[in-house]
Chain A
């Protein structure tokens, strides 16, 4: 890729290769991907099933390790970190929103939001969390248990938790995959507002063109390779680009 920019990258990978299994059954989930996720931007990773988009996110977020190549959070190379440091890095510098099961069922909404800070034993910023609670609109639900919330509300709590510690980057893995379109829209709006109004960085994996349209930029993956990037996407443009994969494959 030649999109060399002077923008600071919140996260990224270079020459990332991830191989699952070995010998005849080996699968190259990532096959030499280099990509940077600029700070203060909302990036969507798209691609058909099996393209390696989830693997890319897991490796960039320190949940999984690369077979070769390097992954960075800011200037920190993840490959040099042991499990403990990787955990502390996730706790202090990364936020997560998963597709489902984002919340610890025994903790209240408020406790779930402050969980990473509580694990770190730090107080965090009261004002910041207060503002977040208002942004996600859950002030009246703070002392409820996750089981008492709807799926959309649960995901909004997850978003609040992801941003609570003001991490360098928030990774979202199909955050709207289990939601109806209205709830999904709310969650995506939240992510967008966090980036644009609060200057946060979000990397989101999705297969939904409508979701991808909320991003500032979309990177396309196919067969473990980075095949395209699109600035200021719209749902239609993304859909068209995706349709091209079904046809003759990726233009390089």
Chain B
């Protein structure tokens, strides 16, 4: 065996414990990464199989060729096709069967009166296609709907809503439709298409409730006769189809569906997880670097002896690197196995909590094997590189020196470089945020700020620990004083240890501040532009839910206590060539319940060819009151609208407003997203709300909220998101804790003799433990304080940059209570990290400690 390798192997064997922290840090980071990759691949493959199975019998899909896509929506709106085409298609040679596919939103109400789903995945309704091969859903129990009011629902939805065959319930389309369940269906062998709920009705019902006018379908599914290939079928169909209608193969359509799920859900999901595994690995880098730096410093005498005996610099460096590689490879391999285990566990766990995870074996691609391994090894070796080089530089004379502990403070150069970086970071950020709004500049500034914090850590650590530890002397007497001074011993080491925690806490505070700011923004939006007393809405986000019946607003308006009630519907159209979301409403009442700011022109008389636009959009499109805008609708019709009003505030009302009458000829499925109500003078909120609720009960029981409650519930999704983020960041914080514990363990090893002395002159074990714990808490406090400052700054940058980059105004809010909780968690984490090192230190044998060389 090579001498360098032999030295590293024996050193590893002798100091297994020192590397336990490093091993765990790499393992956790790599496991997270590998688990994410494997789970992403497995889900993707599962969806592929599921869609493949579900649409096996469909050889071609006929649909309109154009879509209108509005900004911020991944999926365009496609105009419907006429069901008359079915006959034309059936007559085409090579076609065995064709069926219209009518699709719309339909939210089932469960047996407990609560709506099913709506929090993210779509809630779909459609016609139950009689031809079992063309129908993506398979009848699993019961029978197909044969008369009006009978429906088949997917098993997953039935389970969630506790519905059985024979039950009668409400389907919100959004008009409440009374339906009886006659059958249960599966999708591609699963209980449903992920969390998507589906209700299949008779074709007549579907046309009646889900489309604006009968005779329209989202698409037509076609099955080929024997011996006709999909390509052949498509080219045959293309020949007979009218202009603006296209045919695509069944395979292509299935692929599009998979891609859609991938882009909407999987890609976001996996990217999100990858970002957090990246953060965890970044934190790990600091911990690992620190461990190696300390180990190399502790081994100065040993290395110097090797050098004195004739080992070359290279041999000493290599032996340290070999040690690092051994740890890296074993930890990465263990992490990879752990990651695959996590993915397998989730695959088993998801169905148990009601999330159908597509069946199939785990998909472990070459990439998801190699990438985590490579990242683990690179992170570990990269972190050990500098310490290894330093080990090689050990002077042979160092063998004769007394101390081997790095007590160097921060150099002047570091202070200058760090200060320069910080100035540059602030400059770049301010330019990117205030002077010349640009997300890129702001992002660059944020990264620079992070680097500056890390570089300045050792410069700041002495002062910071002195201040943070100030109260300790008074509170904990000599124990606290000793802890504080121990934390001050090696500013570089303290800073490096704290940096890991700092990054974790910074990201946590960043999200906390950003989340609070988003909430404040929504609150501000509602309180600024919502002039009504109560809001009626269906609590849903994402593609879920079915909205409110357009009949609800007029019904509420008829109540004696109600002054005004206006429903806001959504439409889409291309305005002068750009896809835009329209607000379809009664503009006259709109102006009464919403504060539209400064209005030019009038909203009173939009008619069927008038439009109102926000000032911002008007400026962008160079439109003024009296100008003409060309609107192209999903049905292919193009119409000229006259700009009748330009208003100042958009937030809740949207950027473009047209009347219901103008929208009616082009409408798809009718639904309102919000009904805003104001009461007559003298009507108490409670009375008015009760009256509105009574009406709402007849329309599928949507939620009736006061203005404040509405503002708060708009932010409900943010809390859920934050919870997820916190859960994911827990791993990074855990790795940082391992780093603190490891550093402490190594420090205790260095101070063995000193600890022995303290014990000899009368320090009790409890005092010794407290001393180590407080040192840990101090280091954590430093990291936490830095993280809070950095996170708040980055949060501010993010809010301001978003403010500059987007159209709506963002509010900046610092939530003191949450940040205090973050700080306390950081401190508690420090105390936790110190537990084990403290216990080990207290177990030291006094005599042995005194005698230690």
Contacts and interface: CB of A to CB of B under 8 A. Distances in A.
B649 to A, nearest CB: 62
Contacts of A118: 477-478
B764 A63 contact: no
B478 A87 contact: no
Given A58-B847, A98-B850, A105-B754, A63 B760 contact: yes
A101 B402 CA distance: 12
Interface string B474-503: 000111011001101100000000000000
A90 B761 contact: yes
Contacts, number: 69
Interface of A: 58, 63-64, 83-84, 87-88, 90-92, 96, 98, 101-107, 111, 115-116, 118-121, 161
Contacts of A102: 757
Given A63-B847, A104-B754, A83 B765 contact: yes
Interface residues of B, number: 25
Given A98-B757, A101-B754, A115-B478, A91 B486 contact: no
A148 B821 CA distance: 43
Contacts of A63: 760, 846-847, 850
A106 B758 CA distance: 12
B769 interface: no
A19 B850 CA distance: 20
A88 B764 contact: yes
Contact of B485 (A87, A103, A106, A121): A106
B262 interface: no
Nearest to B842: A83
B765 to A, nearest CB: 7
B762 A91 contact: yes
A105 B488 CA distance: 12
Contacts of A98: 757, 760, 850
A83 B843 CA distance: 11
Given A63-B760, A96-B760, A98-B757, 15 more contacts: A58-B847, A84-B764, A84-B766, A87-B759, A87-B764, A88-B764, A91-B761, A91-B762, A101-B754, A101-B850, A104-B754, A104-B758, A106-B488, A118-B477, A119-B762
B753 interface: yes
Nearest to B754: A104
A154 to B, nearest CB: 12
A118 B476 CA distance: 11
B425 to A, nearest CB: 34
Given A106-B482, A106-B485, A116 B761 contact: yes
Interface of B: 477-479, 481-482, 485-486, 488-489, 753-754, 757-767, 846-847, 850
A101 B758 CA distance: 11
Chain B interface SS verdict (over half): helix
A116 B767 CA distance: 12
The 3 closest A-B pairs by CB, nearest first: A91-B762, A106-B485, A118-B478
Contacts of A58: 847
A88 B482 CA distance: 19
Contacts of B762: 87-88, 90-92, 116, 119-120
Nearest to A101: B753
B618 to A, nearest CB: 69
Contacts of B761: 90-91, 96, 115-116, 119, 161
Contacts of B482: 104, 106-107
A120 B767 CA distance: 10
Nearest to B766: A84
21 contacts: A63-B847, A87-B759, A87-B764, A88-B764, A90-B760, A91-B761, A92-B762, A101-B757, A101-B850, A103-B757, A104-B757, A104-B758, A107-B482, A107-B485, A111-B478, A115-B758, A115-B761, A116-B762, A118-B477, A119-B758, A161-B761
B142 to A, nearest CB: 75
Contacts of B764: 84, 87-88, 91, 119
Contacts of B767: 119
Contacts of B850: 63, 98, 101
A161 B760 CA distance: 12
